[in-house]
Structure 1
Amino acid sequence: MSIYSKILVVANLNSDEQPALARAVQLAKKSKSRSNISFFLSIYDFSYDMTSMLSHEERDAMRRGVIQQREEWMRNVAKPFLDDSFDFDVKVVWHNRPYVAIVEEVFEGKHDIVIKATRKHDILESVIFTPTDWHLLRKCPVPVLLVKNSDWPEQANIIASVHVGSENPTHIDLNDCMVKQLDSLTERLGATGYLVNAYPVTPANITIELPEFDPATYTDAVRGHHLTAMKALRQKHGYPEERTIVEQGLPEDIIPEVSRQLDAGMVILGTTGRTGLSAVFIGNTAEHVIDKINCDVLALKPAGYISPLDPNESE
């Protein structure tokens, strides 16, 4: 079974342009099995719940009317994207917290990816991630693809930001997951995949505290370790050496810079935050990287991640 066959697309209420839906259709048409796209919107208007002059039934009727109008609008804006190669449905819910509504729909509909458009700042040419984006990155149990408001680049490159220097089983499993999804996405989108890893700079204070310490030897050893680990990963998955990059520096500097150099259309990140009920944060490194990337971002959770919004955990 191919990945991403049940796709949840979050509608952009502020525009008839729907880049997230366009990206979902690209994935669905290239799927090896028939896909389903659910076009989803969470809406809420405080005034409809606070109008004391109306009865409960009248307020319900007004909400249903608004929901029906939004459904008709969504079907109209979706028409240019639709054909018979995939299944499609529209769903609008009344909810005052969009990210909660989205995650609840993920559980209810058993979706395997959420695709949502991000906002682009026209002057700075940078992506602005909304509070809903950040909540989804932290709390959504399935991969989240945040789409920039632009067309998919011709012959695009996709980068997987792997963490090969660690022997942590969570990192190792996540690396394998990222490469497998990179393979699937490059095949389906006609792109080229790259594996990128950043390794740390030698701390300057070590040479002060330990006069006999040789920073050059230490740096060579660290680089050698990461190169060897990257070689093992690329050979495991059949990647040529020229499509693997190992650079010294912080991931939040290296990954955005490499994505610019390669004109990447997407960066795949592993969000190696805590698992279990305390899994609220996605990790400072991932957040800093995401904030600097001006392209699509696919964020993957580690195996065993449990969303704090999982209804099964609250029973």
Structure 2
Amino acid sequence: MKLQRLLVVIDAEHQQQPALQRAVDIARQVGAELHLLKIEYHPSLDGGLLDSHLLDRAREAILRQSHEALRASVAHLSDEGFRIEMDVRWGKRRHEEILARVAVLQPDVLFKSTHPSNALRRLLFSDTSWQLIRRCPVPLWLVHDAKPRGQSLCAALDPLHSADKPAALDHQLIRTSQALQAALGLHAQYLHAHAPLPHSLLFDAEVAQAYDDYVIQCRREHREAFDKLIGQYAIDRAQAHLLDGFAEEVIPRFVHEHNIGLLVMGAIARGQLDSLLIGHTAERVLERVECDLLVIKPDGKG
């Protein structure tokens, strides 16, 4: 994983910029260049009674003022020697503007601050973070708080691909974690959570009698697959954790108990219909964790 070109979304609605702070911290360590993107939008200037010429002038004035304010806010970084480029643009659908900039710039990582959301907002397409989780083709670093929670990262793996992930994605997650460990000095942990079918869902009496054997076999298969995956890399066994339970419950608990600062997860896009559904493991986990989340897509897929 490269860390040379970092694209940071500047939040126009909040004064605090955790994503910028995280990107600056990383750029300071590895000498990366920073590209800042700020998107402005005001409904009152989206049509209405004013003619188009006046609307264009009003938008241009807002963009100019916003650009000047952004430049002033990061002047101390320029003075420190950071390489910074800024882009301020107008857009109602922020995620589309962000993805358009990603397509042109091809950054190594996209940084964005994340804020509490809810199911209804996601269903109505109104939260940018959820759209980016599904559609961003480059690694997406969602920043929870300006101050890092800890100096450890955790990669959530799925060696049996029960979440319908391609097998190569687990290897990407491991390689990414190892690269971050080397570049940023983070201590890497590797986690796989698995859960057999609940006993209450087994209505067949004969199958129910064999449930204990099923649970033992299920854990054995997950252990063998996890050990095989981890064994292909120089990973200490103390760093590898196989835990029982559903990922959306186990992972946040592990993050809290081990003071994890960055959770590395894989995500796949399943088409436009998926944008209507709530259920991605990455999304359910993000609602519960109190650390940064790095979302990785399969190579060559957005």
List per-residue Cα deviations over 1:47-89 (Å, max 9, x = no partner): 2343645561x43232222111111111222234446664211
Superposed, 1:25-40 pairs within 5 Å as 25-31=24-30, 35-40=32-37
| Distance in 2 (alpha carbons) for counterparts of 1:237 and 1:79 | 43
Q: CA RMSD in A?
A: 2.8
1:196 is matched with which residue? 191
Contact 1:138–1:282 (CA under 8 A) maintained in structure 2: no
| Distance in 2 (alpha carbons) for counterparts of 1:114 and 1:282 | 23
Q: What amino acid is the match of 1:68?
A: R
| Distance in 2 (alpha carbons) for counterparts of 1:86 and 1:80 | 9
Aligned residue pair count: 294
**Partner secondary structure for residue 59 of structure 1:** helix
List per-residue Cα deviations over 1:193-216 (Å, max 9, x = no partner): 111001123431437432574323
Superposed, 1:236-251 pairs within 5 Å as 236-251=232-247
Is 1:61 matched with 2:57?
yes
Superposed, 1:56-95 pairs within 5 Å as 56=53, 58-82=54-78, 86-95=82-91
C-alpha change, 1:148 and 1:53, in structure 2 (3 Å) is closer
Cα deviation, residue 16, structure 1 = 3.8
1:287 is matched with which residue? 283
List per-residue Cα deviations over 1:214-249 (Å, max 9, x = no partner): 323222222122222222222212111111110111
Which of residues 36, 39, 56 is equivalent to 1:42?
39
Name structure 2 gaps, 5 residues minimum: none
C-alpha change, 1:212 and 1:37, in structure 2 (3 Å) is closer
**Partner secondary structure for residue 119 of structure 1:** coil
| Distance in 1 (alpha carbons) for counterparts of 2:255 and 2:95 | 28
Q: Please report the TM-score for the alignment, with normalisation by the length of structure 2.
A: 0.86
Contact 2:12–2:39 (CA under 8 A) maintained in structure 1: no
Deviates more, 1:19-28 or 1:82-91: 82-91
Contact 1:22–1:81 (CA under 8 A) maintained in structure 2: no
Superposed, 1:253-292 pairs within 5 Å as 253-274=249-270, 280=275, 284-292=280-288
1:4 is matched with which residue? 3
Percent identity of equivalent pairs: 25
| Distance in 2 (alpha carbons) for counterparts of 1:282 and 1:30 | 37
Q: What amino acid is the match of 2:244?
A: Q
| Distance in 2 (alpha carbons) for counterparts of 1:228 and 1:134 | 33
1:142 is matched with which residue? 138
Deviates more, 1:78-87 or 1:276-285: 276-285
Q: What amino acid is the match of 1:180?
A: R
Superposed, 1:291-302 pairs within 5 Å as 291-302=287-298
C-alpha change, 1:196 and 1:82, in structure 2 (3 Å) is farther
Name structure 1 gaps, 5 residues minimum: 122-127, 307-315
C-alpha change, 1:63 and 1:83, in structure 2 (3 Å) is same
C-alpha change, 1:47 and 1:221, in structure 2 (3 Å) is same
Contact 1:207–1:213 (CA under 8 A) maintained in structure 2: no
Superposed, 1:147-226 pairs within 5 Å as 147-154=143-150, 156-166=151-161, 170-204=165-199, 205-206=201-202, 208-210=204-206, 213-226=209-222
Q: What amino acid is the match of 1:301?
A: K
Contact 1:120–1:149 (CA under 8 A) maintained in structure 2: no
Cα deviation, residue 120, structure 1 = 5.9
